[in-house]
């Protein structure tokens, strides 16, 4: 399966870009998400499995941003419920994600 070019979540459509040697000013990065720019960047130097894991990680950042930012001191059940609702919503809008995850499961 080819890596996806976009991710729909709520009213936003995120562009997904594979970037060789992705880094910020200080460190190399596996991935990052910009809510304002509607963009997810994934380090293309990662293995396919790591790219998928990183994409999933960035999706959870999107879920937390959309559903509401969480503090680490919050109840773990609230965090789990937030992530569950957000993940199911994202899977409903992007059924191709299931096929992507099947490659590493």
**Partners of 19 in the β-ladder:** 43
Question: What does the pLDDT read at residue 28?
Answer: 95
Predicted TM-score (pTM) of the model is 0.75
pLDDT, tens only, 30-88: 999 998 999 999 999 999 989 988 998 888 888 878 877 655 566 666 776 777 788 88
Question: What does the pLDDT read at residue 104?
Answer: 82
SS3 for the chain is CCCCCEEEECCEEEEEEEECCCECCCCECCEEEECCCCEEEEECCCCHHHHHHHHHHHHHHHHHHHHCCCCCCCCHHHHHHHHHHHHHHHHHHCCHHHHHHHCCC
Asked if 83 and 61 count as a contact pair (C-beta separation under 8 A), the reply is: no
What is the pLDDT confidence band of residue 96, given thresholds at 50, 70 and 90?
very high
Tokens matching residue 83 = 């992530």
How is domain 6-102 classified at the CATH fold level? Arc Repressor Mutant, subunit A (1.10.10)
């Amino acid at each position: 399966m080819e890596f996806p070019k976009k991710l729909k979540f709520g009213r936003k459509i995120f562009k997904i870009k594979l970037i060789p040697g992705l880094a910020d000013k200080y460190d190399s990065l596996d991935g990052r998400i910009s809510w304002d720019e509607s963009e997810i960047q994934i380090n293309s130097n990662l293995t396919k499995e790591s790219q998928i894991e990183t994409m999933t990680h960035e999706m959870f950042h999107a879920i937390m941003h959309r559903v509401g930012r969480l503090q680490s001191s919050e109840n773990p059940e609230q965090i789990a419920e937030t992530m569950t609702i957000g993940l199911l919503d994202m899977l409903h809008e992007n059924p191709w994600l299931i096929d992507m995850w099947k490659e590493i499961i």
